Amino acid sequence: MALSNSTTRNVNVLDRMLSERRPLVMGILNVTPDSFSDGGRFIDPQAALAHARQMIAEGADVIDAGAESTRPYTGARPVSADEEIARLAPVLRLLAEVGTPVSIDTIKAKVAAWALEQGAVILNDVWGLQRDLDMAHIAAEHGVPVIVMHNRERPDPALDIVADIDAFFRRSLEIAAKAGIAHENIVLDPGIGFGKTPEQSIEAIARLEELKQFGLPILVGLSRKRFINSVSPSKPDQRLGGSIAANLAAVRGGADIVRVHDVAQTVQALRVMNAIEKAR
């Protein structure tokens, strides 16, 4: 059966992830009033669209749009699917028309299905297909890449965190296979800062290479996260240096995609690292 234009576009997005020969940069667009780092800054549709265009100009390969804060353990207010859609509606279709691939960051299948109809081409599920079980069916039906992130309700300092991530991914991959999601349409995210102590987040980055056993692309989202504060006390908007250092370490460990707030600085850091690596 011939692929539709939408499905062809999705396949091309994943091909790009796998064949660019460099790490991809995903720019974060929070259309929320309460995200931990930039809550409220881009709730206005025009501000959100302008910020997305700026990140694209700075070198973002993908824009990840989300309308519900998923910050752990800090009292972020859950929102309904209808409220998420209402926040995204003024901006998502316009954003998709810009031409850079758009990912939808949601844990709700209803929001995911709506966003794909508006032009999003990637699903980013911070509960790894294990919270809303319809999410896997939506991904399979639309044939889109899906980012499967490790998560826990609460940290457990006694855990071998990489072993826990490994077991979580195996469950998610089982769910994906049963729903009919192609294995090669999956990206893995160890969920830095989610259900982990700061020490466990650092360990997950340090041991990232162990997750390459799955043979799938790895995305790391560590920008401005709390573990940086545990090493060098700082507020979220003062963690650029720590974010860049950790992202470079993650790429050295096998990350294929980095999800960041500070696109221009991250792109520059990756280009310089790449130039040095080539010179070796």
- Active-site residues: which are they? 225, 259
Cβ distance 163 to 228 under 8 Å? Answer: no
Burial 92-123 (b: 16+ CB within 10 A, else e): beebbeeeebbbbbbbbbbbbbbbbebbbbbb
Cβ distance 219 to 190 under 8 Å? Answer: no
Question: Can you read off the two tokens belonging to residue 270?
Answer: 């990756």
Cβ distance 140 to 179 under 8 Å? Answer: yes
> What residues have CB less than 8 Å from 54, skipping those under 6 apart?
none
The arrangement of strands across the sheet holding 122-125 comes to 186-189, 146-149, 122-125, 102-105, 62-66, 24-30, 257-260, 219-220
DSSP state of 79: -
Q: Which stretches of the chain are assigned E, i.e. beta strand? A: 24-30, 62-66, 102-105, 122-125, 146-149, 186-189, 219-220, 257-260
Cα 114 to chain centroid distance, Å, stands at: 19
d(CA 224, CA 243): 6
65: helix, coil or strand?
strand
d(CA 2, CA 5): 9
d(CA 217, CA 268): 22
Which residue is it, tokens 């700075």?
58
